[in-house]
Structure 1
Amino acid sequence: MIQFSALQRFTMRFMVAAVCCAFTFASQAQTSQAPHMEEHDGHHALFVDGAPYLVLGAQINNSSTWPSTLPKVWPALQRMHANTIEAPIYWEQLEPHPGQFDFSSVDQLVKGSREHNLRLVVLWFGTWKNGNMHYVPEWVKTNPQKYPRVLNRSGDPIDVLSAQSQTNLDADKHAFEALMGHLAEIDARDHTVILVQVQNESGIIGSPRDFSAASNREFAGAVPADLTRALHTKSGSWSEVFGGDADETFQAYHQAKYINEIAAAGKAKFNIPMYCNVWLSYPIAELPERQVRNPGIQYPSGGPTQWMLPLWKALAPSIDAIGPDVYSSDPAFYTKVLETYARPDNALWIPETGNGDDYAPYFFLALGHGAIGFSPFGVDDTGWTFKEGEGPVAHTRNYALLNPMARQIALLNFQGALKTAMELPGRPEQELDFGKWKASVRFGFPQRDGQRVPGTPNHEGRALVAQLGPDEFLVTGIESSVAFHTEGKLPGIRMQILSAEEGSYENGTWKPMRLWNGDQTDRGLNFHRGADTVVKIRLGTF
């Protein structure tokens, strides 16, 4: 049950934020503190302009941050009702020659974001992009003697820079410092940039670790004390301590420290939140005896996967969050990923996910796990993922519904007052527990009296309920109904709806439109026909 004494403690803290919501985007940005992360009682929030901010994100395609393609980015994000763009900055473009920096793409990206009232998440494509070194400058690619690559088990070099090379680290760090220093110069006041991703799905594709002579000597030695302390393991060699996971753990150790040093250097120039995304380890479609993880082949070895997350949280303190890129719409897998990455020491953030309709309900599921944001991949008009003028349909429906009240949703989630339901196969009915009050959520229509609710053909139902007071709730949903009741009683028994007010938030203020009653409330609040709606409901007992 919500502890309202705790909510009251937030009241004074967020009065300024409520006032700020009445002003324009520009005036907000120019008068507020820098973006940062906060945690309270296990709940997380990304603070932007002094108040919790919900990222309704859209990541553009990998090669879309160029002057020729950026004009095809903005219309797609506006149609989607996104409030945040995720866009890459490429090391090869930023530093085409050693020590010579070209910030033109950065400047255009920041300028365009402001012109379209979007916040910006900068993605640094440096040493790693999807487990390879494809975005490093040509002067790095063509000088392997100075910038060494990983050697595989056979001793052959592969398309990945070694995380054990100080030269590689120094080169990436120098470029990242330049990027963050430039962002500080152009954005320290406006705070258009709210997050920075350090690398992209880091790790090794093609080998579990570096098998160079120097690496092999270190691998044969003792596990460093900082790692054994962090993981509470015994001392010994890597193989003695970690067994079959030794190669991957060895790579993760060096990789986490490498990226942490880059992030720390960047924060010294411009201290805003930084995160890492991760290529997950997915279920293996094989016989049980063949379901063995294969780091470096199945996924990039060394990244903050489900198994390496504790190591990364301990050894990369300059990384504020680790966000999973989720490209499986299997309900059990997606739910497990959310549960794994929603930790007291890690804000849940989905920086990439599928752009298909089957992924859209997971936004509601993520919110129910406390997510600070969500971002489908591949949203622009370049023709790579969508034809010009098209885009994600179900994700757009989500964002159109929640965008006007995104700040309120972020605050309610930070307060622990929000719960969600997502339709699952074979589960067309779910229950949300708010202590005194229970919310029965049913998916699919028609919902005939005395009959089992049908569910939807594609399991697209979702609902959101947030407690505003002891007997007051904010309710919305898609292809769902929500009915309230008390413990042990059915809806309508010894309880009543005092008011059910349809409305919307405008600049942080609730604007009522009409009262629901009769057919609109007798069988729960139905979110089915017509435009998607939001209802503020007050309940009573008798």
Structure 2
Amino acid sequence: MVLALSAFGQATHAAELPRLAHENGRYTLMVDGRPYFPLGAQVGNSSGWPEQLKNLWPKAEALHLNTLEVPVYWEQMEPREGVFDDTVVEDVVQQARAHHVRLVLSWFGTWKNGKMHYVPDWVKQDTQRFPRMLTRSGQKIDVLSANSDANLNADRKAFVHLMGVLKRVDGDQHTVIMVQVENESGALGSVRDFSPAAQKQFESAVPEALVKALGKRSGTWKQVFGDDADETFQAWSVAHYINQIAAAGKQEMPLPMYVNNWLKSPRGYPVLTIPGEDYPSGGPTSNMLAVWKAAAPAIDILAPDIYVPNTERYRDVMQQFKRPDNPLFIPETQGFGHFPGSQGAARNLFLAIGAGTIGFAPFGIDNFALVGADGKPDYEQVGLAQNYELLAPIAEELAALQFAGKVKTAAEEPGLEQIELTFGQWSALVSFPPEYTASADTGGLSPTAALHMGRVMVAQLGPDEFLVAGIDARVNFRLTPPAAAQAQLLTVEQGTYDGPTWKRTRLWNGDETDAGLNFKAPGSVVRVKLGTY
């Protein structure tokens, strides 16, 4: 298994916990004092159990990932009130450590996909003490109220216990690098809680912190937000609830914490969507990001779960969530399973890197297979594995270069044949089929080329030096027009990184460079030195 974890195999007692770094408008995740890029995957909802997880490590190795996202279940951790079972979390951490993989743990507590299905039985059965939301007509739904102190206190107590376990078993090894607090929070079934207690809050003045943050005038929720009052009230309630859980957890172990998001408009844009019906009302949707930022300062990242039908929409979502006050992180996305319009999903990682994401993880590694049920290669899945096999050895360098603002990417889309990436005086002209055709060294296009998901990453190492990684594409360097001189390739070295050290495996020349740099699947990484004549 190829990994960019040079110090992971030895016992590390680094004092610095994983953290987010922010400089010059860019973010990165720091692990053991170095930039780290999670090339991840998320296991299925019911796969965070030791015996099930054991079956997934061969898939993780075949995918070449360096990070695995695994759920932790409140119902398992606290089966009886005040009685905790730490064995599952301890086992998951030990398994990941044994396989030299980092973890992101997802807390399935009060919310999972807009419902309360992962809370313990003793919470589900006591609806008087742990109140459900009420609809406008007074009907109970299977969502805990975010306006209940009893619900908050119970979840917070369990989450604090989880963070205490991580501090005990992983405080000096940093196997766990981030924690997701709840999962796709908000409510399906009602736009907000209409219980008497919640209604009293709704009819009161909007908290001054939110009024100030949004530049509004004081008043009740209806007075301040009009037709959006119900959803905004729910967003504030959910965000404030989760913020208190995260803040208490950070008192035990201050790991980076994020929330994920069921998109407001996943399948098309613009479309009419109704909060509480088409998506969980009150979650960190694009229209409620400012509310969440005001209500939940203990949450480091508001992250989108991206399931969309085309690359245009994919870019739209990334643009919505990448903000000066919010790193772009994609903890869940399409890839392993069928999703309408998802053909060529391997390109999405390169789109995301170009947009500045600090990490990436398709959902459902349980479904990952390089060969389909018909015995033939599944080139969609092959493409995902090629991505990680290509980038995992250079992931640490990628994270550092991206944090420095030195990385640009190009990804093929149907009908798009060329993209030019400009780095000052130098430009990289990226070509895809049919503009990129086989030259003498390729012997024909690779099978994955038919999916139109060619992809390239170009990073500037110095004034005239570049790192290039690509699959199913050609790259030609030239001087950015207008230019009097001519560009030439001085050296092209294929190789990889061993920690911070570049290890050359061969020089490219002749057929490999005469028509440009050809990156046939499964891809290559080269360092290029340019000159003029």
- TM norm structure 2: 0.91
Q: CA deviation at 1:292?
A: 2.4
Large movers: runs of 4+ above 6 Å: 385-391
Partner of 1:152: 135
1:401-440 correspondence to structure 2 within 5 Å: 401-440=390-429
Equivalence for 1:333:
313
1:528 aligns with: 520
Letter in 2 for 1:411: A
1:300 partner letter = P
Deviation at 1:358, TM superposition (A): 2.7
Matched, 1:140 2:123: yes
In 2, the alpha carbon distance for the partners of 1:489 and 1:525 equals 23
| Conserved 8 A contact 2:492-2:508 | yes
Q: Contact conserved, 1:503 with 1:513, CA < 8 A, in 2?
A: yes
Distance apart, 1:386 and its partner CA: 8.6
Which deviates more from structure 2 when the two are superposed, residues 428-437 or residues 262-271? 428-437
1:502 CA drift (Å): 1.1
CA contact (8 A) 2:368 2:381 kept: no
Tell me, yes or no, if the aligned pair for 1:76 and 1:381 is still in contact at 8 Å: no
Aligned to 2:294: 314
SS of the counterpart of 1:405? Answer: helix
Asked if the contact 1:29–1:192 (Cα under 8 Å) also holds between the matched residues in 2, the reply is: no
**Cross-structure match for 2:441:** none
1:31-180 equivalence runs, <5 A = 31=14, 33-180=16-163
For 2:294 and 2:372, the matched residues in 1 are separated by 40
8 Å Cα contact 1:73/1:382 also seen in 2: no
Instruction: Measure the CA separation in 2 of the matches of 1:189 and 1:283.
Output: 40
Q: Give the AA of the match of 1:488.
A: P
SS in 2 for 1:26: coil
Distance 1:131 1:32 in 2: 37
1:488 corresponds to 2:496: no
| TM-superposed deviation, 1:319 | 0.7
Q: CA deviation at 1:459?
A: 2.3
1:377 to 357, 360, 363: 363
* Matching residue of 1:358: 344
CA deviations 1:148-198 (Å, max 9, x no partner) are: 000011110001000000000000000001110011011001110000000
How far did 1:213 drift?
A: 1.7
What's the counterpart of residue 472 of structure 2? 479
CA displacement, residues 425-463 of structure 1 (integer Å, 9 cap, x when unaligned): 3222111111111111111256369xxxx9954321111
Mapped partners of 1:321, 1:143: distance in 2: 33
Instruction: Name the counterpart of 1:541.
Output: 532
Q: 1:342 aligns with which of 297, 322, 344?
A: 322
* Percent identity between the two aligned chains: 49
- SS in structure 2 at match of 1:134: coil
Q: Which of residues 177, 188, 196 is equivalent to 1:205?
A: 188
Q: Secondary structure at the match of 1:367?
A: helix
- RMSD between aligned residues: 2.4
> Distance in 1 between the 2:267 and 2:389 partners?
36
Tell me the amino acid that sits aligned with residue 309 of structure 1. L
Distance 1:49 1:247 in 2: 43
Given that 2:267 and 2:307 are in contact with CA atoms closer than 8 Å, whether structure 1 keeps it comes out as: no
Contact 2:39 2:361 in 1 (8 A): yes
Contact 2:59–2:368, Cα closer than 8 Å, also in 1: no
Rate the CA distance shift 1:478–1:293 in 2: closer, same or farther, 3 A: same
1:463-478 residue pairs with structure 2 within 5 A? 463-478=456-471
Deviation at 1:411, TM superposition (A): 0.5
Q: Distance in 1 between matches of 2:65 and 2:20?
A: 21
Deviation at 1:23, TM superposition (A): 5.1
SS at match of 2:39: strand
| Mapped partners of 1:148, 1:325: distance in 2 | 28
1:502 alignment counterpart = 494
Letter in 2 for 1:495: A
Cα pair 1:64 1:70 within 8 Å, conserved: yes
Native 8 Å contact 1:485 1:493 kept in 2: no
Give the match's secondary structure for 2:332. strand
Residue 220 of structure 1 and its aligned partner are, at CA, apart by 2.5
Q: How far 1:371 moved relative to its partner?
A: 1.1
Q: Given that residues 77 and 380 in structure 1 are in contact (C-alpha distance below 8 angstroms), is that contact kept between their aligned partners in structure 2?
A: no
Give the counterpart letter for 1:187 in structure 2. Answer: D
SS at match of 1:163: coil
For residue 256 of structure 1, what is the aligned residue in structure 2? 239
Separation in 1, partners of 2:352, 2:80: 42
The offset of 1:416, in angstroms, is: 0.5
> 1:192 is aligned with what amino acid?
T
Match of 1:307, SS? helix
Q: Which residue of 438, 441, 455 maps to 1:462?
A: 455
1:202·1:278 contact (CA, 8 Å) conserved in 2?
A: yes
Alpha carbons of 1:183 and 1:479: their partners in 2 closer, same or farther (altered >3 Å)? same
| Aligned-partner Cα distance in 2 for 1:114–1:159 | 37
**Distance (Å, rounded) in 1 between the aligned partners of 2:226 and 2:11:** 53
Residue number in structure 1 paired with 2:304: 324
1:83-141 C-alpha deviation (Å, 9 max, x unpaired): 11100010000000000000111011000000000001111000000000000000000
Bigger drift between 101-110 and 418-427 goes to: 418-427
* Cα distance, 1:362 vs structure 2: 0.8
Provide TM-score, normalisation by structure 1: 0.90
Unaligned runs of 5+ in 2: 337-342, 439-444
The answer to whether the aligner puts 1:181 opposite 2:164 as a matched pair is yes
Gaps of 5+ in 1: 1-20
Deviations 1:476-507 (A, max 9, x none): 111111111122259x9611111111111123
